[in-house]
A and B are shown apart, each in its own frame.
Chain A
Amino acid sequence: MDPSQPPVENYANPNTCLFHVLFKGAALAFYILSALFFNSFVIIFVVTVLLAALDFWVVKNVSGRILVGLRWWNEIDDLGESVWKFESLDQESLARMNKKDSWLFWWTLYLAAAAWLILGVFSLIRFQADYLLVVGVCLSLNVANIIGFTKCKKDAKKQFQQFASQTIASRFQSTVQSAFTLV
């Protein structure tokens, strides 16, 4: 390797990346190719929706955690109100995340949603209501993940900014205090 070149960053978690893409791709591929092999709508529906649900779970609980350090969920508090909770790693670890990993994470999320949208348009054009159902379910799963993680990322940024400004403010305060005591 050319020593003057910076080392190319590889995926830090190749297995997780693989699984992140695997179920999405499998759901899309099965849906598109199944018309060639299976006559039964039931099998297509069940397998596609099952793969999409598996993908949702993997993205939400595994690859979200490992590739971008974010997590989101919903809770019902004691008053019976539903609260959306976001969890993220502290800023050091977030900055340490592999860039390739997070690039892959976000882009495959968006691409999969776009692909399902296009497939939905196709089935709409062909007036196939039952396939529209499948596409609708898969699309809503993908969109739910996108919205959840986007909100989580924004929340993490906001938290860090608050923390940073708090720190600057408290440091400034202590500096001013120490300056005044020195005088």
Chain B
Amino acid sequence: MSHNDTIPLYQSSQSDIDEIENMMSNNGFQSNPGSVLPARPPSPTRPSIPVSSSSSPFVQSNLPPLPPPSSSAAAPKVTPVPAPPPPSSGFGSAPNTLTEPVWDTVKRDLARIVSNLKLVVFPNPNREDPGKALRDWDLWGPFFFIVFLGLTLSWSASVKKSEVFAVAFALLAAGAVILTLNVLLLGGHIIFFQSLSLLGYCLFPLDVGAVICMLKDNVILKMIVVTVTLAWSSWAAYPFMSAAVNPRRKALALYPVFLMYVSVGFLIIAID
């Protein structure tokens, strides 16, 4: 019996080490005699978040006309619904989003841009709960809108096109950052990137106004269009910014936003 006492102990600890080594050299599990295999846990950092609500920092994944690289052929085709891929995928039991085809990623992010735009700029019931509305922030929409506005202004300008573009882009980008810092310094609760995203999406009406002004050169028309779109932009930005700060400081947070959009509006009117 004493003989049997010591040997199993040695064997099973050795098989423990063997087993860990096997896992590390990914030979999969081998059933060593006399050892109890632990249940295989899911992969270390598998998030338990449904794919539809995953958002990504900054550039997130999104660019309107990006052709999926042919490497998508290497990844297995999964159904359009992002369900967990079958184990026959190249990565075994990997988490959802790591093995989805590229086209799925593109579609998911495009859908996110559109939904963010609708949430921010158009009337919808979620506006009353601003924190929830832009939960899935992304910066692609704002990037596209800022560049588009700069290009439109630059196109409309007859002289100094480059300066106009550079000024418009720098004004909007720096303005968004400074406005966010303003809210934070006023003791408000807002996430930096969320606010950048919001201010960028609220540029959409001004983009529309700039395109109209580019097409028609009548000053009166320009002023009307700019006023309307300016009001629309401010209306879009109002609930989010005001909810973020102390009620007594609402005006302090909102006034600079309004000021920035007014200056962009002047830029649109003044360009000829």
**Neighbouring A residues of B193 by C-beta, 8 Å:** 74, 82
B interface residue count range (under 10 / 10 to 19 / 20 to 34 / 35 or more): 35 or more
Partner of B24 from the list A16, A45, A91, A130 (CB cut-off 8 Å) is: A91
Considering the chains assembled together, what is the distance between the CA atoms of A133 and B163 in angstroms? 13
* Nearest neighbor of A54 in chain B, beta-carbon distance: B63
**Do A62 and B44 have beta carbons less than 8 Å apart?**
no
Check A56/B59 contact, CB under 8 A, given A42-B154, A156-B45, A168-B16: yes
The yes or no answer to A183 lying at the interface (CB within 8 A) is yes
Q: Give the residues in chain B near A109, CB-CB below 8 Å.
A: none
- With A74-B56, A96-B26 known as contacts, the answer to whether A89 contacts B43 (CB < 8 A) is yes
On whether the beta carbons of B16 and A95 are closer than 8 Å, the reply is no
Residue numbers in A under 8 Å from B26 (CB-CB): 91-93, 95-96
Q: B45 contacts which of A41, A53, A58, A88 (Cβ < 8 Å)?
A: A88
Question: Are B16 and A141 in contact, with the CB atoms below 8 A?
Answer: no
Query: Given known contacts A92-B92, A93-B91, A144-B58, is B147 in contact with A49 (CB within 8 Å)?
Result: yes
Partner of A90, one of B19, B43, B57, B191: B43
Q: Please, which residues of chain A bring their CB within 8 A of the CB of B44? A: 88, 90-91, 156, 159-160, 162-163
Inter-subunit contact A75/B69 (CB<8 Å):
no
B55 at interface (Cβ–Cβ under 8 A)? yes
Asked if residues A85 and B54 are in contact (CB atoms below 8 Å), the reply is yes
With an 8 A cutoff between CB atoms, is B261 at the interface? no
Contact A92 B28 (CB under 8 A): yes
Give the contact stretch, choosing among A2-10, A27-35, A110-118, A173-181: A173-181
Known A65-B98, A85-B54; judge A182-B66 contact (CB<8 A). no
In the bound complex, what is the Cα–Cα distance between A13 and B57 (angstroms)?
A: 26
Decide if the interface of chain B is mainly helix, strand, loop or mixed: loop
Kindly provide the distance from the CB of A51 to the nearest chain B CB, expressed in whole angstroms. 11
B74 within 8 A of A: yes
Contact: B57 with A76, CB < 8 Å?
Answer: no
Contact of B98 among A81, A87, A175 (CB under 8 A): A87
Q: Taking the complex as formed, is B105 at the interface, i.e. its CB lies under 8 A from any CB of chain A?
A: yes
B131 located at the interface, meaning its Cβ lies under 8 Å from any Cβ of chain A in the complex? yes
Contacts of B20 in A (CB 8 A): 164, 167-168
Residues on the A chain within 8 Å of B191, using CB: 76, 80-82
Q: CB-nearest residue of chain A relative to B137?
A: A76
Is B151 in contact with chain A by the CB < 8 A criterion?
Answer: yes
A24 CB contacts on chain B under 8 angstroms:
none
Structural contact, B165 and A41, CB atoms closer than 8 A: yes
Q: In whole angstroms, how far apart are the Cα atoms of A164 and B143 in the complex?
A: 43
Interface string of B30-46 (1 = CB under 8 A from A): 00000110100101111
Closest to A46 in B: B147
Nearest neighbor of B194 in chain A, beta-carbon distance: A76
B118 at the interface (CB under 8 A from A): no
B105 is contacted by which of A40, A62, A175, A182 (Cβ under 8 Å)?
A62
- Is B59 in contact with A60, judged by CB distance below 8 angstroms? yes
Q: Does B247 contact A (CB under 8 A)?
A: no
- Decide: A73 and B69 in contact? CB cutoff 8 A: no
Partner of B61, one of A61, A160, A174: A61
Q: How far is the CA of A164 from the CA of B21 in the complex (A)?
A: 10
Stretch with Cβ within 8 A of A (4 or more), from B4-12, B219-227, B264-272: B4-12
Across the two chains, which residue of chain B brings its CB closest to A163?
B44
What would 12 more interface pairs be, CB under 8 Å, given A62-B71, A88-B45?
A45-B165, A57-B62, A62-B102, A76-B131, A85-B47, A133-B170, A144-B57, A156-B44, A159-B45, A164-B20, A171-B16, A178-B36
* Chain A interface residues toward B at CB < 8 A: 13, 15-16, 19, 40-42, 45-46, 49-50, 53-54, 56-58, 60-62, 65-66, 69, 71-76, 80-82, 84-93, 95-96, 130, 133, 141, 144, 148, 155-156, 159-160, 162-164, 167-168, 170-172, 174-175, 178-179, 182-183
